[in-house]
Each structure stands twice: as structure tokens, then as C-alpha cells.
Amino acid sequence: MDDLTHELKADAGLIGIRGEVLDAPRFGELRFWKDGAVVFDPRRGIITEVGEYRVMIQNLEAKAVQWRAGGPAVICPGLVDTHAHLPQYPASGCGQGELLPWLEGHIFPLEQAFTAERSEQDSPRFFRELARNGTTTAGLYTTIYEDSCDAAFRAAERSGLRITMGKMMMDVGSYGGLAPEKILALSLEQSERLCQRWHGAGGGLLRYAFSPRFAVSCSAAMMRGAAAMAQKYGAFTQTHLAENSGEIERVKERFPEAKDYTDVYAGCGLLGPRTVLGHCLHLSDREVAVLAGKDAAVAHCPTANFFLNSGLLPLARLRAAGVRVGLGSDVGAGPEVNLWQVMRSAMDAQKARSFYEPGTKQLSAAEAFHLGTQGGAEVLGLGDVVGSLTAGKEADLVVLDRAALSPYGEPGDLKPEELITLCVYRGGPQAVQASYVRGRAVYEREV
Ligand code: GUN
Ligand code: ZN
């Protein structure tokens, strides 16, 4: 391999990474090449070949490939975090109890202090944390402040990551200090401006998500306005749904005429194929059918659900109805941006369900890995672009240090299911060597 590296370096057009290659393009399906390789064109940002290294090397002889140096590696698609709150990272592990008091006591003060200056300082660090954990695509919320969100977008652009993000919108019980009737027009105007500036920017890596927080802190007019703007610009919408029983009670009080929580969003036109709904733990069959009918997607955030005592997602019920489901760290309710940790928590959630709900199917590591890659990509409307290691897709991938995954650094000869279980249970920043977006390294571990 070394000789080849030198021989071909001169006019290298393509980059190749050799290692154990793993992806999960469909739920329950794991693809694996033991001595595999992924080759991509860094100029176009596209994967050109995936397969057995030995076979590939014969076909590639005539082409210039610069092979990545380094020890034994596992190569996976870049991880997709469909739901996190950028300003909340410092609150990781802070507070306890349930959603509404936690928001009031810990989160609103933190977001209120997340000024543009603070955002300029913290946002680059946050994006670096994502990349250091192998996350290459994320759906994020910022604060209610336009300039703070703008600074986060500028940092996102510089990071090279694939980010869908928006300014938080809330006009009921907001931390901004303005009267609700003033907030409504201002928040819509500011969100629209941010969308005009950032939706499709960064060569298409950045997209805008109109982000009404949830029905507890938004008027119907605000939610309707957000939905209309998202429609106008072909942008995303994201909000929270049915995370916690206290929240659901509050929504019932605020919208007594609605059939249920989901009906509030449906009535405001918020549900569609570019809508991402965080949590969705406590939905009736009717509500699940509405989500499926509208093709709205769900961000499953199990670490956050455990932290805030919110509950266990009925994952099989949502998936059986045809609802797209991906994973979210939901930082700061979730303590880490490490999506491997979120995958194992998703497995634990289904295990816990199965203890009291006979017949509940447990989630395998391969299935959790699908949710954290291709599943998440589909939630964010990027299923044809990223999420699996497929020739023609964009080259978003993670290179893991094989030795760092194993206790005592002993690699062993693992079957694909064993290897993905190892990744899910022991994956984290200590094992990430490099992360790539569109064939460009957005993170390289220092050696
Ligand atoms: N519901 C509304 N806002 C939030 C938030 O910031 N975090 C979580 N976990 N749930 C929410
Ligand atoms: Zn959230």
C-alpha cells in the first residue's frame, strides 16, 4: 500500500481509504467489506467506488488514487444528528426532573445569554465537537436572536459540515422581554431574513429550518406564519411534539378545540415532508396516522428522554405506520453530541420497553446504526445524497481507529454484526480519526 501511495501521489485525483467498510442502507441490512475501500473524488465531493480493496485496486490501476495513510480503520457513513440545540451544550448534565421546569430553570436563561458574541465564540467549538464525534450532518436549533443565529450559520459555513438550522421562534412565555404581539412580526421577519441569507448557502450544505419551539410557547399565528414561510422558500420546519405529559397537558389547556397535540400542528399547516418533529413519545394511533399521512418525520432522542424522565419511544409502531425516524442527541437534554451513545441509548429504550411490553422487538446495533446514518439522512430529506457509502452519493464519511474501538487495542476478527455492536457500544471521539464532508476532511485527529 505504501509503494502505491508514493507512486500515485504525483497527480492524485482521487482519494482512497482502505479498511473495514460498514454501512446500513436499509433498516436491518448491514453491508460489510472486510478488506474494503472507499474511493472518492474530492473535487466533485462524490464517492466513486466502494468494495473489496483487492478487486478495486485492479480496476483502479490506471487512475490516480492517493491512499490515506494510517493504521487499521473502520469506514462508515458520516453520522446524522437530526435534532440538537447548539446554545444548550453547556447545560449538558445540568438539572434534573422534567421538561417544563427544566426549560424554565436551566435552558431559557442559558439561551437568553447566548448573544451574538457568545455564539461567535461557541458555535465553531460546537461544530468541531460534532465533527470530532463523527457527525457530518445535523439539524439544529439556535436562540431567538437573529444575530446569534447568523453567527452560528457563519461558523457552520466555515466548519464545512452539512447543517440545517434555524432561529428559535417563541411568542408565549419567551425570554426575550418583548410583548407577544411585537415578537410575532419580528420573529417572522427575522426568520425570513435568515432563510433568505442561508437557505442553500455554503454550496448547498446549509439549509434553513423555521423553528417554532413547540405549541406551549407559540401562538397559532406564529406556527401558521412559520409554516407559510417554510412553504414559500422550500425550507424545513422543526418543532417538538409529545415529549412529556406535563407539556401535553399544557397544550390541551392552550388549544382546547384541537383533537390532540398533533392536531394543533396539523391545523397550523406545520406538518409535511420537510417537517422534523422531536420526540413523539406519547402519540395516539390517530396522531401516528396523521404524521404518516403528512409524511412528517421524527427525531428520536433517547438520551434526552432518559435524562428528562420523558418516556420510551414506541419505535416499532411509528416505523410500521411508515413514519421516517432518525436519531437526535437533543443536546443539552441529551448529555453528549456523541451519536454512537445515542444509538446505544436507542437500543436500551427498546430493551426497557420490552421488559414491560411483551412482544416489543428489541433494536439491534445494525438497526440503530441505520437510524443514525441513512435513517437520519431520510428525515432531513438527504436520503439520496448521504447516509450510506454508495457510489454516486456525496462523500460524507467517518474513519474510525479500529484499535481504539477494542479493549486493549486488540482488533480480533469480527463478523459485521459484532463489529457494528462494538462501534455502537464503544464508539466516540476517542475512536474517530477523521470525518469528511463532500470528500473534504472537516476533522482530522492530531497524532
Ligand atoms: N421542548 C421545547 N423546547 C425544548 C428543548 O429545548 N429541549 C427539549 N428537550 N424539549 C423541548
Ligand atoms: Zn429539542
- Structure confidence at residue 5 as a pLDDT band (50, 70, 90): very low
CA atoms within 13 A on the CB side of 297: 26
Q: What is the spatial distance between Cα 103 and Cα 172, in angstroms, rounded to a whole number?
A: 14
User: Probe ligand 1: pick from 330, 342, 345, max atoms within 8 Å of CB?
Assistant: 330
User: For ligand 1, atom 9, which residue shows the shortest CA distance?
Assistant: 333
Ligand 2 midpoint to CA 83 (Å): 6
Distance between CA atoms of residues 102 and 413, nearest Å: 46
Average pLDDT rounded to a whole number, residues 353-359? 93
Tell me how far apart the alpha carbons of residues 339 and 279 are, in angstroms, rounded to a whole number: 16
Atom of ligand 1 at shortest range from CA of 107 = 6
Q: Report the C-alpha gap between 79 and 202 in whole angstroms.
A: 19
pLDDT of amino acid 8: 38
The predicted-structure confidence for 144-174, as pLDDT tens digits, reads as follows 999 999 999 999 999 999 999 999 999 999 9
Q: How confident is the model at residue 12 (pLDDT cuts 50, 70, 90)?
A: low
Angle (CA) 208 214 216, round 5°:
155
Cα 85 to ligand 2 centre (Å): 6
User: Which segment of 6-10, 96-100, 146-150, 252-256 scores lowest on mean pLDDT?
Assistant: 6-10
DSSP string, 248-314: HHHHHHH-TTSSSHHHHHHHTT--STTEEEEE--S--HHHHHHHHHHT-EEEE-HHHHHHTT-----
Q: Are 167 and 143 in contact (CB under 8 A)?
A: yes
Over 60: is that where the pLDDT of 6 sits? no
**Helix residue spans in 165-219 (DSSP H):** 180-198
Residue in this structure with the C-alpha cell 475501500, named with its chain if needed: 37
Q: What is the distance between the alpha carbons of residues 321 and 16, in angstroms, rounded to a whole number?
A: 40
362-391: average pLDDT:
98
pTM of the model: 0.96
Q: Which of 273-301 are b and which e, b meaning 16 or more Cβ less than 10 Å from the residue's Cβ?
A: ebbbbbbbbbbeeebbebbeebebbbbbb
Q: Residue with C-alpha cell 474517530?
A: 432
Using a 6 Å cutoff on CB, does residue 213 contact ligand 1? yes
Helix (H) or strand (E) holding 120: helix 116-132
Range name among 179-193, 249-263, 304-318 with the lowest pLDDT average: 179-193
Q: Over the stretch 205-220, which tens digit does the pLDDT of each residue have?
A: 999 999 999 999 999 9
CA distance from start to end of the chain: 20
The residue type found at 214 is: F
Distance 240 CA to ligand 2 centre (A): 6
Residues 191-205, mean pLDDT to the nearest whole number: 98
Specify burial of residue 308 (Cβ count, 10 A radius: 0-12, 13-18, 19+): buried
Q: Which residue among 82, 86, 103 is best mutated to probe the pocket of ligand 1, counting the most ligand atoms within 8 A of its Cβ? A: 103
Rounded to an integer, the average pLDDT of 277-288 is: 98
List, in order of start, the domains of the chain with CATH numbers: 14-78+387-444 (2.30.40.10), 79-379 (3.20.20.140)
Cβ of 243 less than 6 Å from ligand 1: yes
Q: What proportions of the chain, in percent to the nearest 5, are helix, strand and coil?
A: 45, 25, 35
The confidence band for 412, taking pLDDT boundaries of 50, 70 and 90, is confident
At 308, which amino acid appears?
L
CA distance 315 to 41: 37
Cβ(215) to ligand 1 under 6 A? no
Mutate to test the pocket of ligand 1, among 96, 112, 140, 214 (most ligand atoms within 8 A of CB): 214
Q: Which of 281, 282, 362, 290 is nearest to 323 (CA)?
A: 290
3-class DSSP assignment, residue 137 = strand
- How high is the pLDDT of residue 4? 35
